[in-house]
Structure 1
Amino acid sequence: MRLRHLLSASTVMLGVIVNTTAFAAAPDVVRIGVAQQGTGDPPVFGGSPAATAQLQHRVEDSLKTDGTKVEWIFFKGAGPAVNEALANKQIDFAYQGDLPSVLGRANGLKTHLLLASNVRAGVYLAVPPDSDIKGVKDLRGKRVGIFRGTNLQLVADNVLKEHGLSERDLRVINLDSAASQAALASKGVDAVFLDYNLFKLQRQGLAKIVYASRDGGLQFTRQAHLLVLEDFERAHPEIVQKVVTSVVQASQWSSDEANRDALFALWSKSGVPAQSWQAEYANQQLKDRSSPLIDPFLIARYQAVADDALRLNLIRQPVSVNGWFEPKYLDEALRTLKLQSYWPRFDASGKPIAC
């Protein structure tokens, strides 16, 4: 009997050891989805600390000792396509905007938001150079390109609401970034809501920017982030920590005003000229746009996005952001890098919080 008990106990212990070993084993590859189309071979992107991290190979370098490779997977279908990949567990991490992640949460995706990456970004309204459209109020009945399902859509909808309009008052055409630019340049639409890509068209004489949402206040800005699937986080918390720390390091480099020209030159490898990044970031502090912090402003903006999505019938049930953010990896990165006081924190209204 005693021998039988000893054998049984040994079997249990062996099972624990095997399971622990399997749990601790680093994955062969980490897959990071990006909610935009990449440029080049291999493809890259720009405009955020996450992009800086990719261009500088920071994540790859941090995982070398684990023998883990990194795959950056780009999605022309942007946020909605990233959500589909997350649902099918084809990626482990995702860089995407606020609205798509809210839609994913509303549809049952189990994720944790790890840090911010490119916040307080606006959208622009552009028209053909010879258009008589002077501003948002002139869009009634016009053909307007909007990339639906992205964080750009919700800002555009709120801008329309501010000017007494809604999508129903327009002839909205769902166009991705490349299609929007082509349609505007060929005058296939009367106007488009888009991002920094419009600056290049304007310099080429193919577009005229008539409105910038940031001018209306921070409530008309969009936020982006890095998130992780809960299952992956549960199995590989040490990998999550290394990825977060790498992006925080990239955030610091991207926030240093001494690196402004070098940053825009680096991002120009994405196909967006440095002049466009200069225009996008004109009169803005890099720290304000590149902060990774999960502060009251960020949390309030995501809850506002969830509330707006419900109001606009983009989701059917209310979504709460409580428990969605997981700041422990960010806090550890800030502590080890001694960056606890590097970025300013903002309250829910966007005002700086006194240290």
Structure 2
Amino acid sequence: MNLSHFTRRAVIAAFAFSSFVFPAIAEEPLTINVGYAAIGLDSRPYSEGTSAATARAGEYLEKEFAGDPNIKIEWFFFKGAGPAVNEAFANNQLDFAYQGDLPSLIGRANGLKTKYLLASGARKPLYLAVAKDAAIKSVADLKGKKVAYQRGTNGHLAAIKILEANGLTEKDLQVINLDSAGTVAALTSQDIDAAFGDTALINLAEKGNAKVIYTTKGDDPRYGRNAGIVAREEFIEKHPKITQRIVDAFVKAAQWSSDEPNRAALFDLWHKSGTSIPILEEYFKNDKLAYRNSPLIDDLLVSQYREQGVKAKEFGLIRREVSTDGWFEPKYLNTSLQKLGLQNFWQAYGANGKPLGS
């Protein structure tokens, strides 16, 4: 078919116009699967205590992509915590996830191709509660006792470090592997003597069914727990711009979660998880929101993950050495901080646990 010069120009113009007006037709639908290594009370699809929990409850990711009909956000909460997240990553079922330090290091040691993008829930305290009638007064008194915690989680490694600081090892205890719900039931019935955990134990103590005898809060920050947002390398490489927007959304959630005037509203938002507001108030008592909700990949965080890797191998939690070299990917976080004018919003800490510049 022969087309006149004018006709050919008209066809080209029409094609260009249709491409400009209807770009979404050429875009492939994309579902971004986001995991969370915890779950709310009664299996509610929410959590608390982290900026990632804020991002979920406040729909920060959904709002970021509200103008992109082909992009959908799906959240998945895991009763099996970090180990279950690793399994989902291994099966390419997740693109991003909130996960604690030990399980993410175990995943790396086992060959999972992920990158650590920003902190979320770093510096979380750990609590030690004992049965209400137990005569246990200190960590040292745990020797020979039945003590529960969930193996393979960041609470597991933190508990081991606390035991070590008090002259004990796991072999000195009768360790019972229980999730949060199982721990509450066993401690209430006094089938165990003690347990390591967090808000669930605070709640149990408030009801008079247990006694909290120790917390890492106010102690050496290196005894605490760390967590962050990790992502599949393949997703990052394929969708760098979308990855940036995901990080932007998480940083916005971290900023809102760090502003002290938002404290009451923050706890109300986290209450979607089923954890009561008084328990959240106690959990964050005497802590600045910005300290607990910082997204920074600072020297303290990096040194903690390196130490956790060494300790995990030393304690037999992983079979091979794990390196964090090249794992941390701060460029997306740094871009977000600059874009949002937050370069000096959070305090960075040194490997010694002290604020930099102090």
TM-score (norm 1): 0.91
Other-structure match for 1:11: none
Q: Which runs of 5+ in 2 are unaligned?
A: 1-22
Other-structure match for 1:58: 60
Partners of 1:179 and 1:136 lie apart in 2 by 21
Partners of 2:28 and 2:186 lie apart in 1 by 46
Bigger Cα displacement from structure 2, 32-41 vs 203-212: 32-41
3-state DSSP of counterpart to 1:65: coil
Of all paired residues, the percent bearing the same amino acid is: 48
Cα drift, residue 214 of structure 1: 2.9
Other-structure match for 1:136: 139
Aligned partner letter, 2:261: A
Other-structure match for 2:18: none
Partners of 2:125 and 2:48 lie apart in 1 by 16
3-state DSSP of counterpart to 1:211: strand
3-state DSSP of counterpart to 1:268: helix
After TM superposition, where is structure 1 displaced by more than 4 Å over at least 4 residues in a row? 24-27, 39-42
Residues 206 and 39 of structure 1: is their aligned pair in 2 closer, same or farther, counting only changes over 3 Å?
closer
Q: Which runs of 5+ in 1 are unaligned?
A: 1-20
3-state DSSP of counterpart to 2:160: helix
Other-structure match for 1:206: 209
Residues 53 and 26 of structure 1: is their aligned pair in 2 closer, same or farther, counting only changes over 3 Å?
farther
Other-structure match for 1:167: 170
Cα drift, residue 137 of structure 1: 0.9
Partners of 1:39 and 1:128 lie apart in 2 by 21
Aligned mate of 2:89, from 86, 90, 93 = 86
Aligned: 1:33 with 2:35: yes
Other-structure match for 1:176: 179
Cα drift, residue 276 of structure 1: 1.0
Cα drift, residue 129 of structure 1: 1.6
Aligned mate of 2:243, from 240, 243, 248 = 240
Aligned residue pair count? 334
3-state DSSP of counterpart to 1:64: coil
The answer as to whether partners of 1:26 and 1:66 remain within 8 angstroms in 2 is: no
3-state DSSP of counterpart to 2:217: helix
Aligned: 1:316 with 2:316: no
Cα drift, residue 26 of structure 1: 5.7
For residues 297-312 of structure 1, the aligned pairs below 5 Å read 297-312=300-315
Cα drift, residue 128 of structure 1: 1.6
The answer as to whether partners of 1:26 and 1:239 remain within 8 angstroms in 2 is: no
For residues 210-225 of structure 1, the aligned pairs below 5 Å read 210-225=213-228
For residues 6-25 of structure 1, the aligned pairs below 5 Å read 25=27
Residues 42 and 132 of structure 1: is their aligned pair in 2 closer, same or farther, counting only changes over 3 Å?
closer
The answer as to whether partners of 2:126 and 2:196 remain within 8 angstroms in 1 is: yes
Cα drift, residue 39 of structure 1: 4.7
Pairwise CA RMSD = 1.7
3-state DSSP of counterpart to 2:74: strand
Q: Over residues 112-164 of structure 1, what are the superposed CA-to-partner deviations in whole Å (9 max), with x where a residue is unaligned?
A: 00000011112111112221111111111111111100000001001111111
Partners of 2:334 and 2:273 lie apart in 1 by 30
Cα drift, residue 103 of structure 1: 0.3
Cα drift, residue 65 of structure 1: 2.3
Cα drift, residue 25 of structure 1: 4.6
3-state DSSP of counterpart to 1:144: strand
Partners of 1:25 and 1:236 lie apart in 2 by 13
Residues 353 and 200 of structure 1: is their aligned pair in 2 closer, same or farther, counting only changes over 3 Å?
same
Residues 212 and 41 of structure 1: is their aligned pair in 2 closer, same or farther, counting only changes over 3 Å?
closer
Cα drift, residue 197 of structure 1: 1.5
Other-structure match for 2:51: 49
Partners of 1:42 and 1:307 lie apart in 2 by 35
Aligned partner letter, 2:197: L
Cα drift, residue 349 of structure 1: 1.0
Aligned: 1:105 with 2:105: no
Bigger Cα displacement from structure 2, 215-224 vs 255-264: 215-224
